[in-house]
Structure 1
Amino acid sequence: MGKARTVGIGMDYSATSKSALRWAIDNLIEAGDQMIIIHVRSPKSDPTNKQLFADTGSPLIPLEEFKEANVSKQYGLTPDPEVLDLLDTVSKTKGAKVVAKIYWGDPREKLCDAVEHLKLDSLVVGSRGLGIIKRVLLGSVSNYVVTNATCPVTVVKGTPLPKP
């Protein structure tokens, strides 16, 4: 076992972001690592404390607090039982420290900001698998992050993995 690492997981509760989370748990996370679940909310969303944390994102939210529905709702999130179960399991079985952080803005920029602010050793994101036309028009978050992040980025793509 080497030095404990800080690994970010981009999470929007889509099937591919859940696959990225499963992949990170199965292939990357080791005992003592810190997992930071990074949510990027639309700047149009309006939770009560958004203005307070607009530039820096929310404080780190420990898993025990994040599992409480009222805490997630404060940040404009709807808790996902499957994701919370995966996080709880990795915390207990691998001894990883799990926290969440919420940003508001463009996911491409905010995920790259998170790499810097949180001093991530690695970032794992899902890929929606946009076709060429949509990727050109909408831009690919994963492509932008791979190109601009200052840490290794793993993109988990393709169809969602089956549940274990």
Structure 2
Amino acid sequence: MGKKRVVGIGMDYSPTSKAALRWAAQNLVEDGDQMILIHVQPPKSDHTRKQLFEDTGSPLIPLEEFRETNFSKQYGLTYDPELLDVLDTVSRTKGAKVVAKVYWGDPREKLCDAVEDLNLDSIVVGSRGLGTIKRVLLGSVSNYVVTSAPCPVTVVKGASSSKF
């Protein structure tokens, strides 16, 4: 049995970030690994916990607390039963320790910061599949993380979309 790993999953509740979570749960996370769901809230969001943790991100939030509806509201997160089901399943079937962490700011930078802050062994993110022009104009979180994160990055693609 090898070293227990710490795997980060970028989560914004989009279909592609949920696909990334499902992919990691099925293909990457092994018995006893730690899975950290990483949420990045917009810098302008104004939730009660932001004032306390804006500079460092929230403390690690255990799955038991993350499950509670009121808890999600305190951080401005979406209560999502589908997501919780995936997390419960990977915790139960693989013995993975599941926690969440919330940051505030630019998702590209904060996901890369999380790699170092949390000593991640790898990070998994979803890709919206932006075409070349949109990617140039809007930027790509997944592309930035791939080129900037100091650990292995897995990008899970969403459904095909137009190239422009």
TM over 0.5: yes
Where does residue 120 of structure 1 map in the other structure? 120
Give the alignment of 1:152-163 within 5 angstroms.
152-159=152-159
- Per-residue deviation, residues 81-110 of structure 1 (Å, max 9, x unmatched): 100000001100100000000000000000
Where does residue 147 of structure 2 map in the other structure? 147
Shift of 1:158: 3.2
Where does residue 36 of structure 2 map in the other structure? 36
Where does residue 87 of structure 1 map in the other structure? 87
| TM-score relative to the length of structure 2 | 0.95
Aligned length: 160
The whole-number CA distance in structure 2 between the counterparts of 1:13 and 1:144 is 19
In the alignment, residue 113 of structure 2 is paired with which amino acid? D
2:7 counterpart SS class: strand
Where does residue 132 of structure 1 map in the other structure? 132
Where does residue 71 of structure 1 map in the other structure? 71
- Stretches of structure 1 that go unaligned for 5 or more consecutive residues are none
1:112 counterpart SS class: helix
Moved over 4 A (4+): none
- Per-residue deviation, residues 4-34 of structure 1 (Å, max 9, x unmatched): 0000000011110011001101110001100
1:40 counterpart SS class: strand
Where does residue 18 of structure 1 map in the other structure? 18
- Contact kept, 8 Å, 2:15 with 2:158, in 1: the verdict is no
The whole-number CA distance in structure 2 between the counterparts of 1:98 and 1:49 is 20
Shift of 1:78: 1.7
